[in-house]
Amino acid sequence: MRFGQKNLEKKLHNKPTGTKANALLCPSCCVEYIEVEFDFEVEGIILQNVKALRCPSCSEELFTPEQSDAITDRINQTKYH
pLDDT digit string, tens, across residues 42-69: 888 899 999 999 999 999 999 999 999 9
Nearest C-alpha neighbor of 45 from the set 68, 71, 22, 24: 71
Beta strands in 1-81 (DSSP E): 34-42, 45-54, 61-62
Q: Is the pLDDT of residue 25 over 60?
A: yes
Q: What 8-state DSSP symbol labels residue 24?
A: -
Reported as a pLDDT band with limits 50, 70 and 90, residue 8 is very low
Q: Is the pLDDT of residue 1 over 50?
A: no
Return the pLDDT at 79: 78
